[in-house]
Chains A and B, each alone.
Chain A
């Protein structure tokens, strides 16, 4: 069965510094990978996804993620963090068989300090 691990409960970064939120996955076959962000009292917003092709995926709000098949990782990155990026980030992987089931990680809270 597929699974996703987000090894850090919280990531702290200063505004203007680069940020990385880590995600590793386990799935048989080729993965479909997603990142979502949850702001306080809001639903999940889609950031980006990897289906196939270029290993570097660009998404909303200046975020990007790098797919690394050998390390089974899909880390979320941003070159310069903003205080407004502070939120809860979820990585998710699509099941390799059947349909649409998204399996989520436990989430990583990102805190960007001024």
Chain B
């Protein structure tokens, strides 16, 4: 089944404890992206990747890191999480970076930082 998977689905952590949220897609997509969803703000892009080893900042990149060493994986790293990073996170992928391509989303990771 073609899908985007994320792990973990739920995570409660404490301020300052490094964490990684994994994202993997099995559709051979070139483009991958991370979003955070907050009430009243919709989804905002954190980082995106056009292809392997090509990443760039989105609208809200502060406090996050990403890497794209393999085409299928695009982990989101929080080096020192803070409570304002408590949010619902989505990974998405699309075949290419072309404007007409549809992005497909993972199930989401609900992160709580205490």
* Interface set of A (CB-CB < 8 Å, partner B): 32, 34, 36, 41-46, 49, 51, 90, 92, 94-95, 99-102, 104-107
A-B contact pairs, 6 of them (CB 8 A): A95-B99, A100-B31, A100-B101, A100-B103, A101-B58, A102-B43
Closest 9 CB pairs of A and B: A99-B97, A104-B42, A44-B105, A43-B105, A104-B43, A106-B42, A43-B107, A100-B97, A94-B99
Given A100-B48, A100-B94, do A46 and B104 touch, yes or no (CB 8 Å)? yes
Given A32-B100, A44-B90, A94-B99, do A102 and B105 touch, yes or no (CB 8 Å)? no
Q: Which residues of B contact A45 (CB under 8 A)?
A: 105
* Interface set of B (CB-CB < 8 Å, partner A): 4, 31, 33, 35, 40-45, 48, 50, 58, 90, 92, 94, 97-108
